[in-house]
Amino acid sequence: MAKRTQSKETGKPRKPKKVGKRKGAGKVLTATDEDFDRRVAAAGGPVLVDLWATWCGPCLALSPVLDELAVEFADRLTVIKVDIDQSPEIGRPLQGAHDPQAPTDHGHTKTEQGGVAAEG
CA neighbor of 64 nearest in space, from 21, 28, 116: 28
* Active-site position among 56, 80, 84, 90: 56
46 belongs to the catalytic site: no
* Active-site position among 59, 70, 79, 90: 59
At 102, phi and psi to the nearest 5? -70, 130
* CA-angle at 93, arms to 111 and 114, nearest 5°: 10
56 belongs to the catalytic site: yes
Catalytic site residues?
A: 56, 59
